[in-house]
Amino acid sequence: MFPYWRLSAYYFFYFAFVGAFSPYFTLYLQALDFSATEIAVLMSLMQVMRIAAPVVWGWLSDRSGRRVAIIRLSGLASLAGFAVFFFTTRFEGIFIAMALMAFFWSAALPLFEGLTFNHLGDRARAYGRVRSWGSVGFVVAVLAIGYLLDRLPIDTLLWMTALVLSGIVVCAFFLPEAVRPVVYVEGVGLGVVLRRREVRALLGACFLMSAAHGALYVFYSIYLVENGYSKSLVGWMWTLGVIAEIGVFILMPRLLGAFSIRAILVFAFASAVLRFALIGWGVDSVVVLVFAQLLHGATFGAYHGAAIAAVHAWFPGRLQARGQALYGSISFGAGGMVGGLISGLVWDSIGAAWTYTVGSVFAAAGLIWIVLGWHSGEQTNERGAGA
């Protein structure tokens, strides 16, 4: 029997933690009087650990076959690392705590994505319905905490976030293991897959898409608060993006049936070029900001749904965990790190508007790579994934 609710609950709490941590922890760091560069360095540790750690954990999972055990260990160790935040406000101490938490937290999602697809089996297009619960969790957390922080001291964020992280741990202990399908393509190894032009184009473009989001994930909340918006409105802005994301995830099976993965990605990258320019230069207009946040449905929802479908198709059998890990490491890891660090380095020198314009340039480079590197005649193994 497909464990829909157990998988959905894990997604709910996993992304509720993202909703509690990513939008508001930068405000906590700002309250500790850290500079823009220091904040970028600390937040980029989350991405640094997503470069190598998922590959290590993915290799261990492939060797041991014990994904659920590793996911449980990840949750417990992440909570232990987060607990260090309660005992220090020094840059060095927070740096160590962030590194510890991120190393173990980054292990979970690639393994869990593979676990979900194995449970789905030939119903892979139903992934969006399960994954959408993660978006719901994000919305609940980001809205509730936004309103609470308008009334409570910023340091209460630590307790609220730790509570959500505890929910991940609890859910992990109810996850069932899934039998991995024995799918071998004779003579095909990881190196062979990575030498395919369209695979390299996808992974390279994904790196650039995550880099484009660097300023958004590090400075968006700070940017809005500094321009006079309340923390509750900040929560609503993040929520608008995720509502659009949920809608896209629900529609993803139909979109994959109607359009090619390549076409969906081209649209997503083009939307990202527009979105970050609007955020940078339209902060004085709530209407512009709302429209830009609704584009999150394309720049993350459609982008991630299409990219993960391609990875699932291109990395068969026992390559699945490493394929998901590579996707996470190259995109959210390396790309997110580069984008976050660059935004921190230039935020004070060239200003917010031009920093977000840099994000648009990253997205434009990714768009070009997809268009030129993945020719329309090259197919994945998914129906409707051609041109």
Residue-level pLDDT, tens digit, the chain, 387 residues: 778 889 999 999 999 999 999 999 999 999 999 999 999 999 989 888 877 776 777 777 767 778 888 999 999 999 999 999 999 999 999 999 999 999 888 878 878 887 888 888 777 667 778 888 888 899 899 999 999 999 999 999 999 999 999 999 999 999 988 776 555 444 467 777 788 888 899 999 999 999 999 999 999 999 999 999 999 999 999 999 988 988 888 888 889 888 999 999 999 999 999 999 999 999 999 999 999 999 999 999 999 989 988 888 888 766 776 787 788 788 888 898 899 999 999 998 999 999 999 999 999 999 999 999 887 655 554 444 443
Inter-residue contact 22 to 74 (CB < 8 Å) = no
Round to whole Å and give the CA distance between 91 and 114. 36
Return the structure tokens found at 28: 């906590």
Round to whole Å and give the CA distance between 342 and 44. 10
Round to whole Å and give the CA distance between 37 and 64. 40
pLDDT of residue 126: 75
pLDDT of residue 110: 77
Q: How far is CA 196 from CA 19, 189, 372, in A?
A: 36, 12, 14
Return the structure tokens found at 111: 């393994």
The 3-state secondary structure of the chain reads CCCHHHHHHHHHHHHHHHHHHCCCHHHHHHHCCCCHHHHHHHHHHHHHHHHHHHHHHHHHHHHHCCHHHHHHHHHHHHHHHHHHHHHCCCHHHHHHHHHHHHHHHHHHHHHHHHHHHHHHHHHHHHHHHHHHHHHHHHHHHHHHHHHHHCCCCCCHHHHHHHHHHHHHHHHHCCCCCCCCCCCCCCCCCHHHHHCCHHHHHHHHHHHHHHHHCHHHHHHHHHHHHHCCCCHHHHHHHHHHHHHHHHHHHHHHHHHHHHCCHHHHHHHHHHHHHHHHHHHHHCCCCHHHHHHHHHCHHHHHHHHHHHHHHHHHHHCCHHHHHHHHHHHHHHHHHHHHHHHHHHHHHHHHHHCHHHHHHHHHHHHHHHHHHHHHHCCCCCCCCCCCCCC
Round to whole Å and give the CA distance between 272 and 266. 10
pLDDT of residue 180: 63
Q: Which of 4, 98, 85, 3 is nearest to 42 (CA)?
A: 98
Domain spanning 8-373: which superfamily? MFS general substrate transporter like domains (1.20.1250.20)
Residue type for position 330: I
pLDDT of residue 382: 45
pLDDT of residue 380: 54
